[in-house]
């Protein structure tokens, strides 16, 4: 067994204080100093390179275990329950495949058209909070369709109750009877009860065949048979939590970049005005033409991945990057560092949506250099859904409003859970209405080449 090199740290507390004081800075500077694989304290190894990151994520469940979840949902005691969880994952993946998600675009857009105009009435908008209540509602709709009201607000309370627990610097066991642990237990119970109620109503009304996620999970399959109600409740509760947090942070970062760049806002507004109908359904056909807006979202997730670090642990003695790691070694994969590495993304700190054009440098980056949704057996199942959400929200918001930072507000990256733009406050000013058919026919959809943007000029790397 040999350990990768790394910082020595203090005699008593090791590197803990330096890490907790500035997690992003610590990970970045130590990766620059020690290279692709390094270690700190006694049992933490960091894999800060695309190919090692790919190995860790792809070998998850074989050589590496996932993170311990506070609610202990994923630590299943018996093989049969574990098998059921995997079956539920496969079924939800089917339910959330891109083609199924594309059909939901009119529904997502309709919800957004209701919600976004109301944001401006709040004056200064807390975009992350507004987007969280929107994505939370949409998450319930994809799980429960017309029965979404039966769990309304319950997943938000579970999320809110979990925040102080997850943000705490000291991870205390969940069985300790602290008030905050009791609040999580109550919220979790309430949400699972709400889900149980939906299952009951569906059975009573003989509506077990819906095409929402609950419908998919209630259908027995030849391969996996019927899932237990407990597994259905737990896996849908986990999905509802995942559906609201990362997209709201990701969208917050998109807006954070937009308020600094009126020129990018103009390009989005022009594209959205040209592509989206002023009224009537927004379909997949409209959505897929929002090419520039989609690149903006993609670039925001490169600079600011909500899941900025992946945590795994070795399940047994395991080789990685030429080292042999002991069982139980914690392995961290900082996507934030990899996605800002100049070797894979030239001028990495420059916000440049056009690096994602077919000939751009982003598109040419090595596999696993861009990891906002993970990879391997735990890859995000909401990938298509959340890209649709964020792209449509950006297009609809910027089509109708100019975005500006509230004077005196300052954004601080908060990596204590997901990477979130803490302090983001935005002022929305309505754009002048477009006369005629509501469609502004302009020619600014093509990326405008500028001297400072080699990717737009098509210059090779």
- Residue from 108, 268, 381, 411 in contact with ligand HEM (CB under 6 A): 381
Residue 176 has which token pair? 């300790």
Question: Would you count residue 253 as binding ligand HEM (CB under 6 A)?
Answer: no
Nearer to ligand HEM, 138 or 276 (CB): 138
Instruction: Give the integer Cα–Cα distance in Å for 305 and 321.
Output: 24
Which segment (169-177, 223-231, 246-254, 345-353) binds ligand HEM by CB under 6 A?
A: 246-254
In this structure, how many other beta carbons lie within 10 angstroms of the beta carbon of residue 122? 11
State how far the Cα of 379 lies from the Cα of 373, in Å rounded to an integer: 6
3-state secondary structure 354-388: HHHCCCCCCCCCCCCCCCCCCCHHHCCCCHHHHHH
- CB environment 62-85: b (16+ within 10 A), e (fewer): ebbbeeeebbeebebeeeeeeebb
**Out of 243, 325, 332, 403, the residue judged to bind ligand HEM by CB under 6 A:** 243
- Report 310-329 residues binding ligand HEM (CB under 6 A): 310
Q: Nearest distance from residue 338's CB to ligand HEM, in Å?
A: 13
Q: Does residue 307 bind ligand HEM (CB under 6 A)?
A: yes
Where does this chain touch ligand HEM (CB under 6 A) — which range of 29-37, 198-206, 238-246, 406-414?
A: 238-246
Q: Using CB under 6 A, which of 71, 100, 242, 326 touches ligand HEM?
A: 242
Q: Which of 247, 353, 447, 454 binds ligand HEM (CB under 6 A)?
A: 247
3-class SS of residue 124: strand
Residues 21-60 as x/- pattern, contact with ligand HEM by CB under 6 A = ----------------------------------------
> CB 402 → ligand HEM: shortest distance, Å?
24
CA distance 355 to 376: 25
| Interacting residue with ligand HEM among 34, 43, 76, 89 (CB under 6 A) | 89
Contact 356, 298 (CB under 8 A): yes
* 90 touching ligand HEM, by CB under 6 A: no
DSSP per-residue codes, 92-107: HHHHT-HHHHHHTHHH
Burial class (CB in 10 A: 0-12, 13-18, 19+), 337: buried
Binding-site ranges for ligand HEM (CB under 6 A): 66, 89, 139, 142, 238-239, 242-243, 246-247, 250, 306-307, 310, 372-374, 378, 380-382, 385-386
């Amino acid at each position: 067994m040999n350990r990768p090199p790394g910082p020595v740290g203090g005699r008593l507390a090791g590197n803990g204080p330096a890490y907790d004081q500035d997690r992003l800075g610590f990970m970045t500077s130590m990766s620059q100093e020690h290279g692709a694989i390094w270690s700190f304290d006694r049992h933490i190894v960091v894999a800060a390179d695309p190919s090692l990151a790919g190995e860790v994520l792809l070998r998850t469940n074989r050589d590496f275990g996932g993170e311990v979840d506070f609610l202990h949902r994923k630590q299943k005691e018996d093989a049969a329950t574990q098998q059921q969880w995997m079956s539920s994952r496969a079924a939800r993946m089917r339910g959330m495949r891109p083609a199924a998600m594309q059909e939901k675009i009119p529904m997502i857009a309709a919800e957004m058209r209701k919600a976004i105009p109301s944001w401006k009435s709040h004056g200064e908008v807390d975009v992350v909070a507004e987007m969280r209540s929107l994505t939370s509602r949409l998450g319930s709709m994809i799980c429960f369709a017309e029965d979404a009201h039966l769990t309304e607000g319950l997943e938000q309370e579970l999320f809110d109750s979990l925040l102080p627990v997850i943000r705490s610097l000291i991870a205390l066991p969940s069985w300790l009877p602290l008030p905050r642990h009791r609040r999580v237990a109550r919220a979790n119970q309430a949400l699972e009860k709400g889900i149980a109620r939906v299952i009951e109503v569906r059975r009573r009304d003989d509506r077990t065949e819906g095409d929402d996620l609950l419908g998919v999970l209630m259908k027995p399959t030849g391969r996996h048979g019927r899932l237990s109600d407990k597994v259905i409740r737990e896996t849908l509760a986990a999905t509802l939590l995942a559906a609201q947090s990362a997209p709201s942070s990701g969208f917050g970062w998109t807006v954070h970049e937009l308020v600094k760049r009126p020129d990018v806002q103009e390009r989005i507004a022009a594209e959205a005005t040209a592509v989206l109908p002023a009224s009537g359904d927004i379909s997949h056909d409209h959505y897929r033409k929002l090419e520039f807006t989609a690149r903006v979202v993609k670039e925001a997730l490169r600079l600011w991945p909500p899941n900025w670090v992946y945590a795994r642990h070795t399940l047994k003695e395991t080789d990685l990057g030429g080292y042999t790691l002991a069982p139980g070694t914690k392995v961290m994969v900082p996507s934030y560092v990899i996605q800002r590495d100049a070797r894979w993304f030239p001028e990495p700190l420059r916000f440049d949506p056009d690096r994602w054009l077919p000939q751009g440098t982003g598109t040419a980056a090595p596999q696993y250099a861009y990891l906002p949704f993970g990879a391997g057996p735990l890859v995000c199942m909401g990938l298509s859904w959340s890209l649709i959400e964020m792209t449509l929200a950006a297009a609809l918001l910027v089509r109708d409003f100019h975005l500006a930072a509230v004077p005196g507000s300052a954004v601080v990256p908060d990596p204590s859970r997901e990477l979130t733009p803490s302090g983001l406050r935005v002022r929305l000013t309505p754009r002048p209405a477009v006369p005629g058919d509501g469609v502004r026919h302009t020619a600014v959809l093509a990326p405008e080449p500028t001297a400072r943007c080699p990717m737009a000029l098509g210059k090779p790397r």
